[in-house]
């Protein structure tokens, strides 16, 4: 499933998501500090960093699973605090590790979930489900299977298809391919790149994997201890002399290939 360059130049593309001095804390613990970040329509931004750096907190602020304790987060020019949370979440596709599928639903029901909630006609849902299966590289004979009857790679592809079902303009992916074996992970990364190049969604992708970030991103935002360290085009990130970026590159380069994938 190649993140692409945005179809519009960065200067002319509208901001789909904006963090305006957004912070989030639980009691005395600050998980995100004064984040200022803008993601353009059609752009793929990778949030890169180790565990506890604030990546998933940032992601959850976008679809209002969390609310900022100070500052604002805006989606399509509207503060998340002003959105109806259900309406907001239905306009955003969300993919987590292993797809996050409902175990008691077939593949067909999992993919068609949001369109059914949105009262699409059955023929339209059926057509959309089959189109998406092909789009993510799966055969229609999987439609009647349950998640426990699928491989990890198949479950992840179904998760991506479900996130795309109602054609949301924004996709959030949280370590979406992290649990896959190296070969399957490489395949699905490439498929996702090609899919994003065709569909031009606004994508925010969380990972700790530098190789994955460089493969998928238009821009990379490196986070550490709840703070944004650098926000650079992927091509510039590889050459950045920022001390933490260099340390991240050097640490990653010492890992065996199987650990990187």
CA 14/CA 3 separation, integer angstroms? 18
Q: Are 166 and 114 in contact (CB under 8 A)?
A: yes
The per-residue pLDDT string of the chain (261 residues; one tens digit each, 9 = 90 and over) reads 433 333 344 446 789 999 999 999 998 899 999 999 999 999 999 999 988 999 999 999 999 999 999 999 999 999 999 999 999 999 999 998 877 899 999 999 999 999 999 999 999 999 999 999 999 989 999 999 999 999 999 999 999 999 999 999 999 999 988 878 888 888 889 989 998 988 899 999 999 889 999 999 999 999 999 999 999 999 999 889 999 999 888 887 765 454 444
Structure token pair of residue 159? 């998760």
- Which structural domains are found in the chain, ordered by start? 15-91+204-254 (3.40.50.300)
């Amino acid at each position: 499933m190649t993140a692409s360059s945005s179809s519009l130049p960065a200067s002319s593309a509208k901001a789909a998501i904006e963090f305006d001095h957004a912070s989030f804390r639980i009691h005395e613990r600050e998980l995100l500090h004064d984040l200022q970040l803008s993601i353009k329509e059609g752009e793929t931004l990778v949030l890169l960093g180790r565990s506890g750096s604030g990546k998933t907190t940032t992601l959850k602020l976008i679809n209002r699973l969390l609310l900022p304790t100070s500052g604002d987060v805006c989606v399509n020019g509207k503060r998340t605090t002003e959105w109806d949370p259900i309406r907001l979440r239905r306009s955003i596709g969300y993919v987590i590790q292993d797809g996050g599928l409902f175990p008691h639903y077939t593949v067909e029901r999992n993919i068609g979930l949001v369109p059914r909630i949105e009262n699409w006609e059955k023929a339209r849902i059926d057509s959309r489900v089959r189109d998406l299966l092909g789009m993510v590289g799966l055969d229609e004979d999987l439609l009647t299977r349950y998640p426990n009857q699928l491989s990890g790679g198949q479950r992840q592809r179904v998760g991506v298809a479900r996130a795309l079902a109602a054609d949301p303009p924004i996709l959030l992916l949280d370590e979406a391919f992290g649990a896959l074996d190296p070969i399957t992970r490489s395949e699905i990364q490439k498929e996702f790149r090609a899919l994003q190049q065709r569909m031009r969604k606004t994508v925010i992708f969380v990972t700790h994997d530098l190789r994955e970030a460089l493969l998928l991103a238009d821009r990379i935002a490196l986070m550490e201890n709840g703070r944004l360290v650098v926000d650079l085009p992927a091509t510039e990130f590889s050459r950045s002399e920022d001390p933490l970026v260099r340390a991240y590159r050097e640490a990653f380069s010492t890992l065996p290939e199987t650990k990187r994938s």
